[in-house]
Amino acid sequence: MPVSPGDGSNPLLDGLRIEPTPTPTSLVIFGASGDLTRRKLLPAIYRLARGQRLPAQFSIIGVARSPMTDDEFRQQFHDSLKEFAELPKPDDVSSAVAACMGYLQGEMDDPGLYHRLCEKLKTMSAPDGILFYLAVPPGVYGTITEQLGAAGLTKPASDVGWRRIIVEKPFGIDLASARALNELLHKYFDESQIFRIDHYLGKETVQNLLVFRFANGMFEPIWNRRYIDHVQVTAAETVGVERRASYYESAGALRDMVQNHLMQVLAMITMEPPIAFSAENVRDRKHDVLASIQPILEGRPDNVVRAQYGAGWVAGSEVPGYREEEGVDPKSTTETFVALRLQLDSWRWAGVPFYLRTGKRLPKRTTEIAIQFRRPPLHIFKRVSPTAIASNLLIVNVQPDEGISVRFEAKLPGSRMQLAPVMMNFRYGSAFGTPVPEAYETLLLDAMLGDPTLFARHDFVEASWGLITPIHEAWRASGATAIPTYEAGEWGPREADAMMSADGRRWRTL
């Protein structure tokens, strides 16, 4: 007779829960020949299979414009694992997954492609639980959705079947386009079927923010304006635009990083405790955060700083400026760096500034959240240790070295009373002795399970664009033909430092 976890019959199972397994699933990937599929999706599927997290009945159908046979698609899978999953040759797991793979070539606006998809699903005896993944340029999201609806693929053929759709970012380019895309998706899918993916929310450290805040009684009393001086969120990249110039020219750092990733992280930091850990309760509280953010430019045009990288040196290599990159307009005013100062109109956070910055060609690839606490009200050690006491810091490292650090003051060894800041570190990579799952593993599994907790809801997306769109409109109205620059390999422009200096603060040295 099976033993249930925590019933006392088996002490090794006490406190554990059985991991849920998705129901039979067919994964249909639009854009199957693209970089996202090769670099992230296929390796994530393999790792889920190795961890025995995929259902027994599972199939993959790749759809793309590139000509390819089923066998060639399977070979792409093995090549992807060799390059991005450190699997030099196929093993039993990868061979079993490859056996369940098929491929369709066609144009995304061709109705015939979707009729062939219906037939392909039948010939592969694919399960009726279908997850559509739109790993394609945003311009064809609407086309694919309408064609799926016209072909009857958005409704299950049986009582046990289901349909869900994953939509990659960017979800629109402004508030109007995001609303239009939401309306189109809602025409064919219920909100519970739509999974707007943000890979930052799949990262263990970002998810751990909820546990850190709401499962530890020692932090909740100080998580407010009385004890916290300010918060900095940094998402830095060393790379330039690479081969994405055509996309980046129309996006820029504000659309590419702030509207989705950094707004999600900000919501996790500042949200009120949900009444239960359920998708709707968590997402309700996250939406409340965006609703409480003051209009960013209202009365303070210096709340936003944009800039563009010039030529310089990164990691010992000389790199060109943004305007010299292949595919970039020589007169481009697209920002590759943006810094913002935000204020929340809420009881908990009134008066606490939140500083966000993100940029390309910065000295270091890192994403971190730094929560700086107020200094003690009285420096009683100033006679014996005249140096100023450093503020306590709570640092959440999102990537690449996932973990949490706390900086506090301690006495230096010796007969004199001398103080110095010390760090206490927790790292995911070493603490639990198990590999940290990739973000796409977590998010793919949650979508197959139908758990939308780590995905953006339609109102969050629209509220985020409601904050960002006025900034783009103000930039457009200014008619600027040039914007501030910073040398590649530096931490952004002087204007970003001046924004902090005006508040008597400075950016953390990373």
pLDDT per position as a tens digit, 360-386? 999 999 999 999 999 887 777 766 666
Segment 238-253 shows an average pLDDT of 86
What is the pLDDT confidence band of residue 8, given thresholds at 50, 70 and 90?
very low
Rounded CA-CA distance 230/237 in Å is 23
In the chain, the N- to C-terminal Cα span, in Å, equals 55
Segment 434-451 shows an average pLDDT of 89
On the question of pLDDT at 426 being above 50, the answer is: yes
Rounded CA-CA distance 4/17 in Å is 9
On the question of pLDDT at 245 being above 90, the answer is: no
Give the global pTM.
0.89
* Local structure of residue 407 (DSSP, 8 states): E
Rounded CA-CA distance 398/366 in Å is 8
Cα dihedral: 362, 366, 369, 374 (round 10): -60
Percent of the chain with pLDDT over 90: 64
Coil vs helix vs strand at 74: helix
What are the tens digits of pLDDT across the range 338-367?
A: 999 999 999 999 999 999 999 999 999 999
On the question of pLDDT at 3 being above 50, the answer is: no
The larger pLDDT score, comparing residue 419 to residue 335, is at 335
The DSSP-derived string for 303-319 is: GEEEEEEESEEETTEEE
Segment 182-200 shows an average pLDDT of 93
Q: What is the 3-class SS of 80-107, one letter each residue?
A: HHHHHCCCCCCCHHHHHHHCCEEEEECC
Catalytic residue positions, numbered: 261
Question: In the prediction, which pLDDT does 419 show?
Answer: 80
What is the pLDDT confidence band of residue 488, given thresholds at 50, 70 and 90?
very high
